[in-house]
């Protein structure tokens, strides 16, 4: 079940850990549409909801999904432990580090860390 929550004045579409896997662009578009309809500015997705291909950069799944969120000006946060994926891929570690430097896509440990980042970030 998804819920809309306000975190530090920012509407966030919170996805449940259970549910259909997010495996491609259409899944991203569906999330963006649902979130936008409810007035969200960010979508928070538990890492386990992503198909494993998302974490294999050579598949381009992550790039395609992230690009959809950028195109629609919707923030994306991947919540949870992805260390098993980053341990296997220096490229993924670099991708995560670069995303976390920006203000559009974040890979964070949990909702507490996400709330702290939103608090520090100026409203847009």
pTM confidence score = 0.94
CB 14 within 8 A of CB 45: no
Lookup: tokens for 75: 């923030």
User: Within 10 Å of residue 93's Cβ, how many Cβ atoms?
Assistant: 15
Lookup: tokens for 63: 């790039």
Q: What does each of the 124 residues of the chain score in pLDDT, given as a tens digit? A: 789 999 999 999 999 999 999 999 999 999 999 999 999 999 999 999 999 999 999 999 999 999 999 999 999 999 999 999 999 999 999 999 999 999 999 999 999 999 999 998 755 5
Lookup: tokens for 6: 């306000």
């Amino acid at each position: 079940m998804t819920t809309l929550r306000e975190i530090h004045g920012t509407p966030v579409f919170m996805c449940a850990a259970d549910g259909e896997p997010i495996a491609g662009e259409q899944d991203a578009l569906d999330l963006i549409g649902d979130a936008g309809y409810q007035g969200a500015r960010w979508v928070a997705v538990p890492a386990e909801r992503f198909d494993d291909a998302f974490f294999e950069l050579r598949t381009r799944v992550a790039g395609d999904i992230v690009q959809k969120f950028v195109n629609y000006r919707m923030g994306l946060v991947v919540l949870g432990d992805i260390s098993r994926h980053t341990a296997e891929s220096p490229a993924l570690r670099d991708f995560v580090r670069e995303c976390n430097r920006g203000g559009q896509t974040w890979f964070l440990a949990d909702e507490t860390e996400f709330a702290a980042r939103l608090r520090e970030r100026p409203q847009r």
